[in-house]
Structure 1
């Protein structure tokens, strides 16, 4: 092994160790020697945390003083813990314009952010994989089109409460971002059954959240689920038009589901039977607020190896479920055999 190879190996090991060190200790490492400085500075700049708005402005000034450190930035979280998120386009663009290696971005609740900022992201950050845009209500389809065209490795997208978008935004994503794995469209009133036709292009979809999308009906899942066989997590909270037909299609085409939330849907014991019969990998089930489900239907769900079950009158976690299994083995056996009745 050559001398240079040894130094590379040592640096790799040091870097792995420094990744486990607290930020305060990393600051001390900057003063050890030049080699430790180069390793520690990469970790310190990789994912800066902004708890208050003042720290964002300080980070912006630090970038002005040392712009070359922007190449180390991989994650930026502007979801500041305050009633109002004051991040605006000017400040946002000044920070991200040199962060070409950015892979994760969170600007949730930044109500001042407009299309201009997202266009800048799509141009400057081609490596972006995750972007959180929850409640950025000034964004339009122009932003989504820019992301679809500029960020070719996008895997996770959160558009919760983005009220100014239209179904056209999903069309843009379907044309260029078929590999999306996580999509959150909760509280988006513009999502309807027709959107499912475009979403059927997302062959890699693993997580889909459609909570309180009141225009989504059972038809949506009749269209979509044949094209999403690897779906593992699905949220359909508060959909009064979601009925047994939709659940039947979900259980038929998405056997790998591990989390299923159907709270507030108009489903019956028939849905519970289909869940028990087809979703053998299911770990978490939420059917609270579903008045048409009886105790007999819940018995069917208890046949599964669940770790969490929420219904109208109870919320059972894995510990409680294990106690029930140990104390009432006959009940579990009877519940299993009751599936034959359907």
Structure 2
């Protein structure tokens, strides 16, 4: 290696850029001992946001913090703490003493998120983090009582969190008056807040308080809002870039639409807008609102039964920078909307999610032809989407990185076949399920036309998409014997997470082989383990190199006709 190259690989600014692009902790561990300069940078990155995926990892974290002579100032490196349970994972056995010790040692926090208010996270313990970490920029409180919340945020109300930028507060009974008084006191001592999530029904009085207390707000999310309050918010929050809300019943039932049209004219230029309605009337303000939203990049519409083709076509026509669209329970949309989406957004569209919103083969085929740069696609509960349009997606959308969907067994098999025949591609996340699958008791028929997913098809997918990092196949996979399954998994050298239904039960030897996979960290098995294998997993849980979860159902041996 030349001297110039060597010096370049020791340049700290360049190394920070390189290591920021590492997606896996294992890659950091491999590079940890290359050079002392690398070690110092990587240690800081690894400790910046610790993740405890098992009780043992949490105990190791505590042990290192308690060390009397550590190699590095680990406590000063911790910036983000996230006390939220991980799905399916056994959460660490937090104690009040341990949590308060962490609060006393880690005084450089910039982000704190807590997912529950029960012991050991009493309000006093939460307070300690706020008092000891004056640089906190983001605080997310759990669902809690108003009494707990008022005590927990006491330091913020008394001036200990001057650098606060994001605040998320929720309480069980949604006491709007008391919550508003609390927010007003926090705002008086934390004038830099630009992002607020408050689970409130925002009335006119509350809106006036919010505009007065948070003049620099850029991102706001609430439970619901009245029409008069919405007008106050959009007039007052002139710097607003992101808005997430549900329209209150008074907007949905309003007879005079003049005020609502006025609301649309006053809207600030947004980057992101998420709207839920839950009514068969789409708000008139949307027709005037969309005409000025040239910078909108993300749009999510939920429970919009009143959203018609005319309204949606106007949205995709005028919002010229839309890159991400989510449609959930917009039942009145038809193929015309999706044709317009493909026509007006074409190669700009990057992400699309559709849930029970009128998508069919014709609309999806149009998207496949015109939206070639689509990187993320999620289709669920759209029964008129079949193999024909999905095969076009597999053929034309070669930049797809993530594909998620719920389809029939036959459609899943056809999609898998099409993905295999048009590989290799860029797919890194593949999550497919059969919505009707419940651990079938019927005999499964297999044939050469891929009417059902089978082991051969899964092997072809693995061969064409070796870069897959997450693979979820929640349906019956015929003719997939344990030895073949293990072989396929090892051919996916980058695989990190797997959720699958084995055709036959895996035994202890198969589990032991899976432990040798270089990158696999999490396996979810729907049934599919022998009694010995389940006992092995339970007995060696702390010693396993990966997390394995067996989800039981009344396991039946599927027979092939």
Look up the SS of the partner of 1:48 in the other structure.
Answer: strand
Aligned counterparts of 1:142 and 1:301: Cα–Cα separation in 2: 44
Look up the SS of the partner of 1:123 in the other structure.
Answer: helix
After TM superposition, the score normalised by the length of structure 2 is 0.47
Residues 226-245 of structure 1: CA deviation (Å, up to 9, x unaligned): 22222122122222321111
Q: Which runs of 5 or more structure 1 residues have no equivalent in the other structure?
A: 1-12, 32-38, 330-342
Q: Which runs of 5 or more structure 2 residues have no equivalent in the other structure?
A: 1-43, 49-75, 82-98, 109-130, 417-427, 433-457, 466-561
**Residue 193 of structure 1 contacts residue 216 of structure 1 at CA under 8 Å; is this kept in 2?**
no
Please report how far the alpha carbon of residue 299 of structure 1 lies from its aligned counterpart in structure 2 after TM superposition: 1.2
Larger Rg over CA atoms: 2
CA gap 1:253/1:131 in 2 versus in 1, 3 angstroms: same
Aligned counterparts of 2:321 and 2:338: Cα–Cα separation in 1: 16
* Segment drifting more, 316-325 vs 286-295: 316-325
2:276 is the counterpart of 1:181: no
CA gap 1:27/1:74 in 2 versus in 1, 3 angstroms: farther
**Residue 204 of structure 2 contacts residue 229 of structure 2 at CA under 8 Å; is this kept in 1?**
yes
Residue 121 of structure 1 is aligned with which of 207, 210, 219? 210
- Match of residue 277 from structure 1: 369
- Match of residue 340 from structure 1: none
Please report how far the alpha carbon of residue 198 of structure 1 lies from its aligned counterpart in structure 2 after TM superposition: 2.2
Aligned counterparts of 2:379 and 2:140: Cα–Cα separation in 1: 37
CA gap 1:302/1:219 in 2 versus in 1, 3 angstroms: same
CA gap 1:320/1:94 in 2 versus in 1, 3 angstroms: closer
More helix by share: 1
Please report how far the alpha carbon of residue 275 of structure 1 lies from its aligned counterpart in structure 2 after TM superposition: 0.8
- Match of residue 308 from structure 1: 403
Residue 222 of structure 1 is aligned with which of 300, 313, 316? 313
- Match of residue 231 from structure 2: 145
More strand by share: 2
2:432 is the counterpart of 1:318: no
Aligned counterparts of 2:463 and 2:166: Cα–Cα separation in 1: 48
> For residues 31-110 of structure 1, what are the structure 2 equivalents within 5 Å?
41-44=133-136, 46-51=137-142, 52-53=144-145, 54-59=147-152, 61-63=154-156, 66=158, 68-69=159-160, 71-80=162-171, 82=172, 84-88=173-177, 89-108=180-199, 110=200
- Match of residue 160 from structure 1: 246
- Match of residue 304 from structure 2: 213
Aligned counterparts of 1:323 and 1:186: Cα–Cα separation in 2: 42
Aligned counterparts of 1:313 and 1:193: Cα–Cα separation in 2: 38
2:356 is the counterpart of 1:264: yes
Alignment RMSD, CA only? 3.5
CA gap 1:161/1:97 in 2 versus in 1, 3 angstroms: same
After TM superposition, the score normalised by the length of structure 1 is 0.74
Residues 58-102 of structure 1: CA deviation (Å, up to 9, x unaligned): 1454355x3x4454322211124x4x3335333333333443211
The count of aligned residue pairs is 299
**Residue 275 of structure 2 contacts residue 301 of structure 2 at CA under 8 Å; is this kept in 1?**
yes
Please report how far the alpha carbon of residue 169 of structure 1 lies from its aligned counterpart in structure 2 after TM superposition: 5.1
Please report how far the alpha carbon of residue 130 of structure 1 lies from its aligned counterpart in structure 2 after TM superposition: 0.8
Please report how far the alpha carbon of residue 131 of structure 1 lies from its aligned counterpart in structure 2 after TM superposition: 0.8
CA gap 1:40/1:323 in 2 versus in 1, 3 angstroms: farther
